[in-house]
Chains A and B, each alone.
Chain A
């Protein structure tokens, strides 16, 4: 007899750590509710209701702004808002305005040593002058001003270059001014009369080099500064901005197993991508070439089993963000109905009725342990099953898929043991069936 317990001890020891199996539907409900809650909850990385809401507001705002700006242009009185409009109307102006912003950013960040080191020579940055001219002008005059400006710059450069041989001119060009991470940029030093060049890349690193290549690993706007020194110890700096765009992160999972919707078997995808604007899904064949008959731009497409070809092996997501940066992610398809092997299955053992031959027919979806017969998800167009003894004697054959072998030959019991089977046939899609294997016959007699 076990020890006597008081009521607390009894309940605690019997039920305190009791385990119960939840019914299979619980996980689905968890997933469903979780998905909805995650959508309703603010998460900066994922699409959710707040993003949709703000997208809607932003869209409405843009429409209002656009209609207003059209009116204003008609009235040909361009106000301060024109800055925004300009960016949309004349793309060739855009970078100029951006570079102005860049200087503003620099000012805000406040890099005192850079600023103090700026010599008057760097007035070759167009930006500072643009500032005052922007607002009162309309489109055309602004363009004209821009041209004047760049002309001014050229002249100012020319003015800077010729004087005394020792005059230091600091200048460089970069192979690109913007791009996706990781962004490798080749800088070429075009300074005149410099004896020493120190580069800083806005990342805190400083190196001494003539023509460095630098790789930006993180997104952001970087002020690349070249500080050159001449033989007389005078120094000056030149600065240019490199804009590094973030890359999207493509990632997804194939939802466990297949889900049956309206009798269609489908692969469901759970998309975890971040920072992505558009999605492009493709199916890949064995040799990684894309499968042309299926593609989707949905956030989470559902792929019907019928979309999959025998050779389909992987699903690839190609993600693009608003800067045009891309990422890809590929996942193998877990259970592929790749060959006839998966569409039709044969048991490796069976035990016939000891009471006598039962005939061998069975009905669709039936799984009989007393017959040797296939399990299949689709009826083949043609089907031919043959069963041989180990010595190669044909003992049974049928062309009816609903006809199995009951273990008897001419009303006589066959010997227990291993038999070899072969199947030949054709599926509805024209694909050939060619399978073979062995099966063990077991007599389960009571005596």
Chain B
């Protein structure tokens, strides 16, 4: 198989074989990224598809600073955010205050407790706003200031949304754990 440089050069030329290779090589990883930002796997595939079109159209602009994967990841995340903004107009707003404010104690988990599918499922069910902020902060490692800029919201909104997202997730995971352990 071609090296990444050859694939990149081919994609810049617009060669379909190179585009296909790039897709084959990274679509699985990038679908994983998209799936964290989506309500369903179908939505994730939509984002993936849109993102790849952007990647191929703009691959000339990839300056080779940092890795190609990181660049593609960023495009996917941006696409997901655009998607989120677009969808927000159509979707029912389950806004920030639907989680009770009672303090719940911080829980810890082990990776073995949940399957990947269970976790993806929980993420899919998360309110859209929570999901985006949580992903950007906890997984991608953006600062709240940056998230506020990206999502065009107040920095404090980002922070409060994040803490709510966290609480929401913890509650869900606890419920999931309980229902699992109650069924021997």
Structural contact, A4 and B109, CB atoms closer than 8 A: yes
B77: min CB distance to chain A, Å? 12
Structural contact, B123 and A31, CB atoms closer than 8 A: no
List chain B positions with a Cβ less than 8 A from chain A: 13-17, 19-20, 23, 27-29, 31-32, 35-36, 41, 44-45, 48-50, 52-53, 56-57, 106-112, 114, 116, 119-120, 123, 134, 138-139, 166, 169-170, 173
Give Cα distance in the complex from A22 to B44, angstroms: 9
A1-51 at interface with B (beta carbon < 8 Å): 1-8, 10-23, 26-27, 29-31, 33-34, 37-38, 41
B27 partner, pick from A14, A17, A26, beta carbons under 8 A: A26
Q: List, in ascending order, chain A residues with CB within 8 A of B41's CB.
A: 20
Give Cα distance in the complex from A30 to B134, angstroms: 28
Q: List, in ascending order, chain B residues with CB within 8 A of A23's CB.
A: 45
Q: List, in ascending order, chain B residues with CB within 8 A of A4's CB.
A: 108-110
Q: List, in ascending order, chain A residues with CB within 8 A of B36's CB.
A: 15, 18
Structural contact, B110 and A5, CB atoms closer than 8 A: yes
Closest to A252 in B: B16
Verify if A137 is at the interface (C-beta below 8 Å from B): no
A18 partner, pick from B53, B108, B116, B173, beta carbons under 8 A: B116
Give Cα distance in the complex from A38 to B57, angstroms: 7
A20 partner, pick from B17, B19, B28, B111, beta carbons under 8 A: B28
Verify if A256 is at the interface (C-beta below 8 Å from B): yes
B141: min CB distance to chain A, Å? 9
Structural contact, B56 and A10, CB atoms closer than 8 A: no
Name the 5 nearest CB pairs between A and B, nearest first: A4-B108, A18-B32, A19-B28, A8-B138, A20-B31
Q: List, in ascending order, chain A residues with CB within 8 A of B123's CB.
A: 11, 15
Given contacts A6-B108, A15-B123, A19-B28, contact A33 B15 (CB under 8 A): no
Structural contact, A20 and B53, CB atoms closer than 8 A: no
Closest to B106 in A: A6
List chain A positions with a Cβ less than 8 A from chain B: 1-8, 10-23, 26-27, 29-31, 33-34, 37-38, 41, 253, 255-256, 270, 272
Give 6 A-B contacts (CB < 8 Å), ordered by A residue. A7-B138, A10-B119, A14-B111, A20-B44, A27-B27, A30-B23
A22: min CB distance to chain B, Å? 5
Closest to B26 in A: A19
A7 partner, pick from B19, B27, B169, beta carbons under 8 A: B169
Given contacts A21-B31, A37-B53, contact A10 B166 (CB under 8 A): no
Closest to B35 in A: A20
Closest to B170 in A: A7
B138: min CB distance to chain A, Å? 4
Structural contact, A270 and B138, CB atoms closer than 8 A: no
Q: List, in ascending order, chain B residues with CB within 8 A of A17's CB.
A: 29, 32
Closest to B41 in A: A20
A5 partner, pick from B15, B32, B108, B169, beta carbons under 8 A: B108
Give Cα distance in the complex from A8 to B123, angstroms: 12
Give Cα distance in the complex from A355 to B47, angstroms: 53
Given contacts A7-B170, A22-B27, A34-B57, contact A2 B32 (CB under 8 A): no
11 additional contacts, CB 8 Å, given A14-B111, A17-B29?
Answer: A4-B110, A5-B110, A7-B169, A15-B32, A19-B31, A26-B49, A27-B23, A30-B56, A33-B49, A37-B53, A256-B17
Given contacts A2-B112, A22-B45, A37-B53, contact A14 B119 (CB under 8 A): yes
Structural contact, A26 and B17, CB atoms closer than 8 A: no
Give Cα distance in the complex from A272 to B13, angstroms: 9
Structural contact, B20 and A37, CB atoms closer than 8 A: no
Structural contact, B20 and A22, CB atoms closer than 8 A: no
Structural contact, B14 and A272, CB atoms closer than 8 A: yes
Q: List, in ascending order, chain B residues with CB within 8 A of A19's CB.
A: 28-29, 31-32
Give Cα distance in the complex from A18 to B30, angstroms: 9
Give Cα distance in the complex from A2 to B110, angstroms: 6
Q: List, in ascending order, chain B residues with CB within 8 A of A31's CB.
A: 16, 19
Structural contact, B110 and A41, CB atoms closer than 8 A: no
Structural contact, A10 and B53, CB atoms closer than 8 A: no
Q: List, in ascending order, chain B residues with CB within 8 A of A26's CB.
A: 27, 45, 48-49
Closest to A46 in B: B14
Give Cα distance in the complex from A324 to B42, angstroms: 50
Give Cα distance in the complex from A21 to B26, angstroms: 10
Structural contact, B15 and A253, CB atoms closer than 8 A: yes
Given contacts A5-B108, A270-B16, contact A11 B29 (CB under 8 A): no
Among A19, A38, A256, max chain B CB count under 10 A is at: A19
Give Cα distance in the complex from A7 to B107, angstroms: 8
Give Cα distance in the complex from A272 to B116, angstroms: 42
Give Cα distance in the complex from A6 to B166, angstroms: 10
Structural contact, A38 and B14, CB atoms closer than 8 A: yes
Q: List, in ascending order, chain B residues with CB within 8 A of A270's CB.
A: 16
A128: min CB distance to chain B, Å? 46
Q: List, in ascending order, chain A residues with CB within 8 A of B45's CB.
A: 22-23, 26
Given contacts A19-B28, A19-B29, A22-B28, contact A41 B16 (CB under 8 A): no
Give Cα distance in the complex from A34 to B31, angstroms: 18
Give Cα distance in the complex from A18 to B38, angstroms: 14
Structural contact, A7 and B139, CB atoms closer than 8 A: no
Structural contact, B109 and A7, CB atoms closer than 8 A: yes
Given contacts A7-B169, A26-B45, A34-B56, contact A15 B119 (CB under 8 A): yes
